[in-house]
Amino acid sequence: MQDFQIKKNPKAYDVAIVGSGAGGGMAAYVLANAGIKVVLLEAGPLYDPAKNVTQLKWPWESPRRGASSPYRHFGDFDAAYGGWELEGEPYTQKDGTKFDWFRSRMVGGRTNHWGRISLRFGPKDFKHRSIDGLGDDWPIGYEDVAPYYDKVDRLIGVFGSEEKMANEPDGIFLPPPKPRLHELFIKNAGTQLGIPVIPSRLSILTKPLPGNDKRGKCFFCSQCNRGCTVYGDFSSSSVLVKPAIATGNVDIIPNAMVRQVLTNEEGKATGLSFVNKEDMQEYEVSAKIVMLAASACESARLLLNSKSSRNPNGLANGSNIVGKYLHDSTGAGMGGILPKLVGRKRYNEDGVGGMHVYTPWWLDNKKLDFPRGYHIEYYGGMGMPGYGFGSGMQHTNGKYPGRNGEQKKAGGYGASLKDDYRYFYGATFGMSGRGEAIAREDNYCEIDPNVVDKFGIPVLRFHYKWSDYEIKQAKHMKETFEEIIEKAGGVVTWGKSGPENNYGLETPGRIIHEVGTTRMGNDPKKSAVNKFNQAHECDNLFVVDGGPFVSQADKNPTWTILALSMRASEYIIDQLKKQNI
Amino acid sequence: MDRRKYLKTLAVTSLGTGVMLQSCGPETKTETQAAAPTFTIDRTKEELVREQKLLADKFFDEHEMKTITVLVDIIIPKDEVSGSATDAGVPQFIEFIAKDMPRYQTQLRGGLKWLDLQSMKQYNTDFASCTAEQQISIVDEIAFPEEAKPEMQAGVAFFNTMRDLTACGFFTSQIGIKDLGYVGNQPNQWDGVPADVLAQYGVAYDQRTLDISVKHDA
């Protein structure tokens, strides 16, 4: 017998899905519930937040007290495995530019740790070229997606408040939690500055979700990023993949690293080839329809690696557009101390996981020197201590009078220092801006012809530069943050920066909202997929992650990935019924 | 699902898990093959392999550990509220961090050496062997960054790091969390800032916020 052979799965599936995050989980859920036979390939292990528990654990249960590790970049308690670097899975950079690529290979993918910030794109977000002449309009508008946002709200649950803001569409909301103390100060500061500070919109069940007895409601431990044992928040693992499998219509293959989409002579997708990371053997699975939801960059990589004599440029890439128009949200932050909060009374301030209030974009870009907006996320208060607690006390305890009203020398040791940690606990706060970058053709990922990963799969090479638009936006963020901190009665302690570091603008990829690599459009020469996420050049191939986004908006992408994946899945059901695919 | 039942289950399963760190220190290493560490938090296969290696390794020698023990108790001593840094297992925490985050290794080892050399210069013995008064006298020269002499800068930087690691190790321990008065990490029904605290800071929830916010069952 030969040493190397490819094992073919004899079962014929209707649909093969690559990736089990927001896009893949939603597709599996919708299709399986319609009786369609699905095989779901996931590049990482099985994961269920009720079984793989870090929630309600104490810092000392981690020997590094929750610090980041090579296998969990967001810390030892974070639900998401992985990070910006994975062992044996490199990527490269081009022309001295930099893009950091976060990968979480596990069931549920990056939905396991995200901030649950669940914002709808607004009418302007789909048609921004018509407003400012930059980027491109989507081939669909808010009215096309709105019914799916509604369905996603009902299926998954999101809290928020009706605000009737033009470009921040209201959803079908559960009631929001009341603001915390520092959030009240921020809200009051915002009111004085003309900056809206409204209840956040997070996919967390503050009330039981009507019609769903499989999920418990939130018990306010503030740990959504650890995964919720009662499924009180949204992660694809608990809310979509688990019930999809329960239908009996989904076979899930974990640790399946997909190499390429298989095609036949007519150019149709016939299935997938993958390596099983457990036994390192080669496998193939066949299906009538293939859906890619491996993440914007991984799906682009798959298409580019799916070369054939018919598709020398990669699959669905006659336009040469796959990998291009890559864009991540912009990000910048600042923090401070609220001197009025020193020595504060203790009470359980955990609340939900993340902020109770946020600031949606509130200004008119026509009156500003940058074209797109940003939203602001807030944090602070009496959180559970973890790695890094008390760091840099010498920068604080010499600046403010101590408990007895006397000024101390900075730094120190002993009982007096020990008391300083108690005294300043819960008095710091901070904020992060998350803005829209312009999608540009020259920000892209492509296949590095010289490098393969440990599975022998050619890797991605990135080329990404911020433009003046994003840098000016970051400058505006920083000016705004400083105003808010000071108006709230705070003092800035970190995050002031200038042109020397692009006003603290984060490296692209750091915000983990990357989209755009297989963008949708009506013109097959300028887009990879059509308005139903269906490849122009291969009608039984769909991409349902962030790849098809034409523009990112000043919102988090997850809710729109979910809505578009649901929409594409319903389209597939309809097309299968009509025998069009 | 009965919500109360699962909250109760959660509360019970999160108790009695605070002893894990005690098995992390170098003193538990024996000549026999170290048993695989057990964790009360989710660990992947790759993580377990790495944790086992880290826990089996030893970085600081006995003298270094002795010096660290003296230093962390100077930084966070026992007081009327709670125990000392060593009571909270801080030396073992620092030993683990040095192995887990190699960027600390040179700074910590070198800083300990610097401290011994200072002690030798001034008192003709290593830091740990100095009297308590002598130790405090040396610490006074490196614990106040804004006053320290320029030639003490290396010691100041080392002490800043030790202060950070000690505070982190202490306040993330069982003793430290209790001392700090953190009362979360348990099932709760968040219903806003307590009324007396709102009054203390002269703030209030506006009527709309009260109207739209989640209301809990009694």
Nearest to A319 by CA among A525, A500, A103, A157: A525
Nearest to B171 by CA among B108, B105, B84, B100: B84
At A25 the pLDDT is 98
What's the pLDDT tens digit per position in A473-482?
999 999 999 9
What integer best gives the mean pLDDT of chain A?
97
C-alpha–C-alpha distance, residues B186 and A410, integer Å: 35
At A2 the pLDDT is 65
Are the beta carbons of B172 and A67 separated by less than 8 Å? no
pLDDT over threshold 70, residue B20:
no
pLDDT over threshold 70, residue A404:
yes
And the tokens for B31? Answer: 């000549």
Q: CB-CB: which of B74, B171, B183 is closest to A414? A: B74
**Distance in Å, alpha carbon of B10 to nearest chain A alpha carbon:** 8
pLDDT over threshold 80, residue B24:
no
Are the beta carbons of A412 and B144 separated by less than 8 Å? yes
Are the beta carbons of B41 and A77 separated by less than 8 Å? yes
Contacts of B3 in chain A (CB under 8 A): 216-217
Are the beta carbons of A398 and B14 separated by less than 8 Å? no
User: Is A392 strand, coil or helix?
Assistant: coil
**Distance in Å, alpha carbon of A207 to nearest chain B alpha carbon:** 8
At A9 the pLDDT is 85
What's the pLDDT tens digit per position in A294-334?
999 999 999 999 999 999 999 999 999 999 999 999 999 99
User: Is A482 strand, coil or helix?
Assistant: helix
Mean pLDDT of A383-406: 95
pLDDT over threshold 60, residue B128:
yes
And the tokens for A552? Answer: 């990112």
Q: A-B interface: how many C-beta pairs under 8 angstroms?
A: 247
Lowest mean pLDDT among A468-472, A543-547, B32-36: B32-36
What's the pLDDT tens digit per position in A332-386?
999 999 999 999 999 999 999 999 999 999 999 999 999 999 999 999 999 999 9
What's the pLDDT tens digit per position in A111-170?
998 899 999 999 999 999 999 999 999 999 999 999 999 999 999 999 999 999 999 999
CB B191 within 8 A of CB A178: yes
Are the beta carbons of A421 and B167 separated by less than 8 Å? yes
What's the pLDDT tens digit per position in A220-229?
999 999 999 9
C-alpha–C-alpha distance, residues A528 and A311, integer Å: 14
Residues of chain B with pLDDT > 90, as a percent, come to 82
User: Is A160 strand, coil or helix?
Assistant: coil
And the tokens for A139? Answer: 């081939």
Are the beta carbons of B214 and A176 separated by less than 8 Å? yes
Q: CB-CB: which of B44, B81, B179 is closest to A45? A: B44
pLDDT over threshold 80, residue B23:
no
pLDDT over threshold 70, residue B155:
yes
CB A83 within 8 A of CB A102: yes
Contacts of B190 in chain A (CB under 8 A): 177-178, 220, 348, 350-352
What's the pLDDT tens digit per position in A169-205?
999 999 999 999 999 999 999 999 999 999 999 999 9
At A273 the pLDDT is 98
Number of residues in chain A:
581
Nearest to A20 by CA among A245, A268, A323, A237: A237
**Distance in Å, alpha carbon of B168 to nearest chain A alpha carbon:** 5
What's the pLDDT tens digit per position in A200-213?
999 999 999 999 99
pLDDT over threshold 80, residue A43:
yes
Interface test with A, best of B213, B215, B217 (most A CBs within 10 A): B213
pTM: 0.94
At B33 the pLDDT is 53
Maximum C-alpha span of chain B: 71
Spell out the long-range contacts of A530-534 with Cβ–Cβ below 8 A and sequence spacing 24 or more: A530/A139, A531/A138, A531/A139, A531/A140, A531/A144, A532/A567, A532/A568, A532/A571, A533/A564, A533/A565, A533/A567, A533/A568, A533/A571, A534/A568, A534/A571
Q: Give the bridge partners for A434, in sequence order.
A: A331, A375
Contacts of A108 in chain B (CB under 8 A): none
pLDDT band for B35, please (50, 70, 90 cuts).
low
At A3 the pLDDT is 72
CB atoms within 10 A of CB A511: 22
**Distance in Å, alpha carbon of B72 to nearest chain A alpha carbon:** 9
Mean pLDDT of B82-92: 98
Q: CB-CB: which of B75, B89, B193 is closest to A181? A: B193
C-alpha–C-alpha distance, residues A170 and A182, integer Å: 25
Residues of chain A with pLDDT > 90, as a percent, come to 97
**Distance in Å, alpha carbon of A575 to nearest chain B alpha carbon:** 38
C-alpha–C-alpha distance, residues B136 and B133, integer Å: 5
Q: Which residue bears the tokens 């296969």?
A: B45
User: Is A252 strand, coil or helix?
Assistant: strand
C-alpha–C-alpha distance, residues B147 and A434, integer Å: 40
